[in-house]
Structure 1
Amino acid sequence: MGQVIRSRDEAWVRIEDASAIGAVRRAAAALAEAAGFGEHDRGRVALAVSEAASNLVKHATEGMMLIRALPGPTTAVEVIALDRGPGIRDFTRALRDGYSTTGTLGVGLGGIARMASFHEVYSVPGRGTVISMCFTAGADPAPASRVSGLTRPIGEESVSGDAFACVDSPGTAVAMLCDGLGHGELAAGASRQAVRVFQEHSDLPPVALLERVHRALAGTRGGAVAVARLDRGSGLVRYAGLGNISGWIVHAEGRQGMISVPGIAGHQSRTFREYEYTMPPHSMVVMHSDGLTDRWDVSSFPGLTTRSPTVVAATLLRDAGTRRDDACVLVMKGTA
């Protein structure tokens, strides 16, 4: 069985003024301590997060940070900073210690690069910046990233009604995304049930797995659900969806939509269907709930398809996400 990746408790923090810097630093240090990091490594995490948050306060518009633990053989802490600021026009200068820029993440970018076990920056002038930081204890390598997903609750809610889960192995990746009907705890309960069924039956074909989820959600509020199985060797994607989950095969030149049938998992379904698609080289599967508008255009994000799944997911969530609904986006990379 491959690595299981699923939505989990995620702390989103708005970075609007200096008071948020201490809060996000403490949250990151506490998560690192819970993950078993020693004092030195906890300090490394706290300092990098402080630098990123400080630059969001100084230079960004609509700055936010996400802090979460990453499961796997190597325990890791992941921090994502995103904003709608002016972007970084000169990375070489921004990496120099002590250099100040009107672009986000200028002063502390060089330090962040040294302190993080892995980091990645994606910035488009005039649109904003996304930085992904991964921290591990000691000299442990950062976990490989071929699949990543993000959830964000509506408004000031503490829980999201959307959820995802994925089983990733070298040859295949199987993913499910559920958008619980409505929002809040009842919607989250439906999504958690869908995740439990997925984890127990992820070896089934997508249409059979979707049917299992549909039956299991009968006692819940229900929701929209989609399942995708990616075979990296053949480049084939098998997809089955019920309700308004958006599924796409995305490459540098554009995207191809994948079909979901109308209905509500747990309540309404006339039929279940599975469709097969061929992925072009250097492409990826993107699935998202209707908390993201489906009108995003990958060609407006230069070089985004070459970036990690985490950066792709964060960029789409920032630019296509709406604060008027729970939001969830999942990205699976194919072969190189």
Structure 2
Amino acid sequence: MTPDRAGPAAPVPAGCEDTVWFRHSDSLPAAARGTARQLAHRIGLLPERAAEVALAVSEAATNLRRHAVDGAMVLRVVRTDTEAALEFLTVDSGPGMADVPAALADGYSSGPTLGIGLGAVARLADAFDLHSLPGRGTVLTARFWNRTPAGRAAAAAGEPAAAGLTRPMSGQELCGDAWAVRPLGALPPVPGRVLPRAAGVAGAALDWSVLTNRAPRTPVSPGPGRPDAGSFLLLFCDGLGHGPLAARAASDAVAAFHRSQAHRPEEVLADLHRVLRTGRGGAIAVALVEPAAARVVFCGVGNVSAFVVDTATGARRSLPSSPGIVGHQLPAPHTVQQELPPGSAVVLHSDGLTDRWRAPDVPGLFSHLPVTAAALLLREAGVRRDDAGVVVAKGAW
């Protein structure tokens, strides 16, 4: 959001160092490899696993530097309550791959790299996803858990049904956009590539702090007036302005979202409004996704775009927000409801993405993991003059 007032510098929000973007440059492979080693050491990956991560990052970054158009790489830490993993994504605008299976075959190379190939990266990763279109570009996602029983259990638990991606505006290190998910009951994970479950290891479902870097609330049991099990709340916040103050507002909103006892979107917004009164505030949207009832209940304030997308046809329906600023000018709540067709997706994003994107323009957009879909939308619709963020929820509802 564009700021309407200035303020004193704020402390760096906790956890912001867990996400690092690298732009296309000759120094990209070395810089990304060094950062990957630092993050791997900080989260306690075993030395052998840290070396595998560094090798995979080097291969992907070298491919990006040599072949990509307008390429970028992001490294970040993802967490459960007890475990942490290192994840990277590469995003570029071309040239794309005409034959993805061939590119993943052992020994395949389109030029000089470190030599292990994308197929080896896929084998080293616990989760791997690749979307590529000739002439359009490639998005690659890879996640690496520890080689411990607990790490293998986290990897084997599957993918969360929602994931997002944020990127600070050019010239800034901190991003004022943030997203989060809060479960209201058990939700089946999205199918994804996972390792076999380790023998003798209890495999609890991967919790919703994965990819949010925030501890989740205890799931709420269904009761009178409460959503059914499997429902969840989805938050997107665009902190007012840019830089540390906007990032602080977004961080405070996420923390308040997880502390809130409310389960209706308008009640959650009221809780966040009280918390954000002492800061900048922001544009915030909250969606209650109820797969069992096949509906989405939505309440938003400010310039956050929200859509329900029919992944079979590409048709999308808007979820409108009201004018205002949460924390300063909270209007009377305006809650809307939309049907949730089978296999559909829910997308929330800031005005750092244009809302003119169309799912049919990106073949395969929603046939990949939610985080890959988020990266594709960021590439297709993101702008450099503002913080940009998007969260995608999709599942077999």
Tell me the TM-score normalised to structure 1 length.
0.93
| Residue equivalent to 1:151 | 166
Q: Residue 233 of structure 1: CA displacement?
A: 1.7
One-letter identity of the residue aligned with 2:39:
L
1:276 to 297, 314, 337: 337
Contact 1:235 1:334 in 2 (8 A): no
1:54-93 alignment, distance < 5 Å: 54-72=62-80, 73-93=82-102
Aligned with 1:244: secondary structure? coil
Q: Deviations over 1:1-38 (max 9, x none)?
A: xxxxx985310111322x22111011112212222211
Name which of structure 1's ranges 92-101 and 61-70 shifts more when overlaid on structure 2. 92-101
Aligned equivalent of 1:293, options 330, 349, 354:
354
In the alignment, the residues of structure 2 paired with residue 284 and residue 205 of structure 1 have an alpha-carbon distance, to the nearest angstrom, of: 20
Cα distance in 2 for residues equivalent to 1:321 and 1:105: 31
Instruction: Give the corresponding residue for 1:3.
Output: none
CA spacing shift, 1:107–1:61, aligned 2, 3 Å: farther
Question: Are 1:55 and 1:108, in contact at CA under 8 Å, matched by a contact in 2?
Answer: no
Q: How many residue pairs get matched? A: 329
The aligned amino acid for 2:308 is I
Q: Would you say 1:205 and 2:264 are equivalent positions?
A: yes
C-alpha separation between the residues in 2 aligned to 1:92 and 1:106? 17
Question: Residues of 1 paired with 2:64 and 2:278: CA distance?
Answer: 44
Show the 5 A alignment for 1:126-205: 126-138=135-147, 140=152, 141-142=154-155, 143-168=158-183, 169-170=186-187, 171-201=230-260, 203-205=262-264
Q: Decide which moves more: 261-270 or 146-155.
A: 261-270
Relative to the length of structure 2, the TM-score reads 0.79
1:323 corresponds to: 384
Q: Where does 1:301-316 land on structure 2 (aligned, <5 Å)?
A: 301-316=362-377
Which structure dedicates a bigger proportion of its chain to strand? 1
Identity %, equivalent residues: 43
Within a 5 Å distance, the mapping from 1:247-266 to structure 2 comes to: 247-252=306-311, 253=313, 254-266=315-327
Could you say which residue in structure 2 is the equivalent of 1:217?
276
Identify the residue that residue 237 of structure 1 maps to in structure 2: 296
Q: 3-state SS of the aligned residue for 2:98?
A: coil
Q: Distance in 2 between matches of 1:74 and 1:188?
A: 25
Paired with 1:302 and 1:51, the residues of 2 have a C-alpha distance of 26
Matched, 1:118 2:179: no
| Distance in 1 separating the partners of 2:250 and 2:390 | 14
2:33 to 19, 25, 48: 25
One-letter amino acid matched to 1:322:
V
* Cα gap change, 1:106 to 1:228, in 2 (>3 Å): farther
Amino acid at match of 1:22: A
Contact (CA 8 Å) 2:265, 2:298: kept in 1 or not? Answer: yes
Aligned residue number for residue 50 of structure 2: 42
Aligned-pair distance for 1:107? 7.0
8 Å CA contact 2:100, 2:132 repeated in 1? no
Deviation per CA, 1:173-200: give whole Å up to 9, x if none: 2111111111111112221221121111
